[in-house]
Chains A and B, each alone.
Chain A
Amino acid sequence: MSRKITQQEFIILFFTIISIILLLVPFPKTIIYPAEGIHHINSGNFSGDEFIFPWRSYNQQIDLNLTLVYGNLSLFIFDQEEAYKWYQDQDFQAYYHKGNITDKLILSIQFNPPITQNIYILYLASEESNYSRELIINYTIFYSNYGFFFLSIALIVGGRYIYVKIKNR
């Protein structure tokens, strides 16, 4: 015997399916930091880019295209903890470090195993420098955030549905 799905059952099913998809299916994500003109750094100063590899993100990759107009730069890529150590003049370990950059640098780094951290890309000038950069960050991500959100809606509506069913029995 067929039975029509009620509005409430439809809402519960809809949000449950959406949350399962978001929790279990990975989606590719690309963040582009476009080359916004030329940046200037004085000798001894630094500038940088900051981004985060979120929880449950995989196939993480950074593509950096750095062009120096003039000057001399050092490049560091490290996480928040190591960045703090670097700032405090302590021993640190960078994911990538290259000094004495005077021309152009095309870089592609993959993180394996994946990390869940704030990542800092630091450009340290050993002499007055002008540079431009284009940064592309790629990873696949499970949108657990949205998944949990929709799951909680499904649980609240489902809980109420079951409560009413039991009460009316």
Chain B
Amino acid sequence: MGQNLNNIFLPFLPLISLLITADLVSGEFSNRTAIVLYTSLSRKTIIRAKIEFLVISLVIYVSLLWISLVLATFILFHAIISFNYLITGYILVFTHLLFYVSFSFLLSSLTQNTFVAFLVPFFYISFNGIFITLDMELLSYNYYVNTLFSFFTEVVISNNYIINDFLLMFFSFIIYFGLPIILFIVTYFEFKRIDIRV
């Protein structure tokens, strides 16, 4: 049941957050509010505020998802999910969504184009399988998602996991948790340099 829910909902979760993010910076350029905004405040302040807004809204979004999950589990199965399952899942799903949000935010800021900011991450999510088929799975973020999800599932459920490839596991940890942060940092510093004349 849990696996089915995971398979059904996990591909759609990033799309909802992408819808919010894609328009966040580029929207101001398309409806010309950028002229007022960027003359009154520094770019650093604006981009920092937007990153904070994204992280907070994502916390709220995942929290609402988790509350509904807890309620649904209680109503349907009369069961309560243990805290370590909830917190592990929360961190993993939050980081997963944070990657797509940061990727879309980077494109939205640097290209100032909503379609690019939405479509590139959308196709990246949709055609992740191609990388795995071509044996370039390290270019697919979903590969790290699957690796860490299976690792934490084994650790949390059976308290037993044999790491066959320590290097890959270490690399997966770094990329999974580090890449969203790197993308935000790149956005923060690159946005200061680009030409944003409207």
Query: What residues of chain A have their CB less than 8 Å away from a CB belonging to chain B?
Result: 31, 54-56, 144-146, 148-149, 152
* Range class of the B interface residue count: under 10
Q: When chains A and B are docked, how far (Å) is the Cα of A125 from the Cα of B30?
A: 70
B164 and chain A: residue at smallest CB distance: A31
Q: Mark B152-168, 1 if CB is under 8 A from A, else 0.
A: 00000000000010000
* B130 located at the interface, meaning its Cβ lies under 8 Å from any Cβ of chain A in the complex: no
* B137 located at the interface, meaning its Cβ lies under 8 Å from any Cβ of chain A in the complex: yes
* B139 located at the interface, meaning its Cβ lies under 8 Å from any Cβ of chain A in the complex: yes
* B49 located at the interface, meaning its Cβ lies under 8 Å from any Cβ of chain A in the complex: no
Selected A-B contacts with CB under 8 Å, 5 pairs: A55-B135, A144-B136, A146-B138, A146-B171, A148-B138
Contact, CB under 8 Å: B164 / A145: no
The 5 closest A-B pairs by CB, nearest first: A149-B138, A55-B135, A148-B136, A145-B138, A152-B139
Q: How far is the CB of B122 from chain A (nearest CB, A)?
A: 19
For window 180-198 of B, CB contacts with A under 8 Å fall at none
Q: How far is the CB of B129 from chain A (nearest CB, A)?
A: 15
Q: How far is the CB of B131 from chain A (nearest CB, A)?
A: 9
Q: When chains A and B are docked, how far (Å) is the Cα of A55 from the Cα of B138?
A: 14
Query: What residues of chain B have their CB less than 8 Å away from a CB belonging to chain A?
Result: 135-139, 164, 171
User: Known pairs A144-B136, A146-B171. 15 more at Cβ < 8 A?
Assistant: A31-B164, A54-B135, A55-B135, A56-B135, A144-B135, A145-B135, A145-B136, A145-B137, A145-B138, A146-B138, A148-B138, A148-B139, A149-B136, A149-B138, A149-B139
Scoring A55, A145, A146, A149 by chain B CB atoms within 10 A of each residue's CB, the highest score goes to A145
Q: When chains A and B are docked, how far (Å) is the Cα of A55 from the Cα of B164?
A: 17
Q: What number of A-B contacts does a CB cutoff of 8 Å give?
A: 19
B193 and chain A: residue at smallest CB distance: A164
B110 and chain A: residue at smallest CB distance: A160
Q: How far is the CB of A29 from chain B (nearest CB, A)?
A: 9
B138 and chain A: residue at smallest CB distance: A149
Q: When chains A and B are docked, how far (Å) is the Cα of A144 from the Cα of B139?
A: 11
Q: How far is the CB of B103 from chain A (nearest CB, A)?
A: 12
B131 and chain A: residue at smallest CB distance: A148
Q: Which residues of A are found within 8 Å of B164, using beta-carbon distances?
A: 31
A152 and chain B: residue at smallest CB distance: B139
Q: Which residues of A are found within 8 Å of B135, using beta-carbon distances?
A: 54-56, 144-145
Q: Which residues of B are found within 8 Å of A144, using beta-carbon distances?
A: 135-136
Q: Which residues of B are found within 8 Å of A152, using beta-carbon distances?
A: 139
Q: When chains A and B are docked, how far (Å) is the Cα of A146 from the Cα of B137?
A: 9
Q: When chains A and B are docked, how far (Å) is the Cα of A54 from the Cα of B137?
A: 12
Q: How far is the CB of A102 from chain B (nearest CB, A)?
A: 30
Q: How far is the CB of B167 from chain A (nearest CB, A)?
A: 9
Q: When chains A and B are docked, how far (Å) is the Cα of A152 from the Cα of B131?
A: 12
Q: Which residues of B are found within 8 Å of A56, using beta-carbon distances?
A: 135
Q: When chains A and B are docked, how far (Å) is the Cα of A144 from the Cα of B135?
A: 8
Scoring A56, A146, A148, A152 by chain B CB atoms within 10 A of each residue's CB, the highest score goes to A148
Q: Which residues of A are found within 8 Å of B137, using beta-carbon distances?
A: 145
Q: How far is the CB of A58 from chain B (nearest CB, A)?
A: 15
A164 and chain B: residue at smallest CB distance: B193
Q: Which residues of A are found within 8 Å of B139, using beta-carbon distances?
A: 148-149, 152
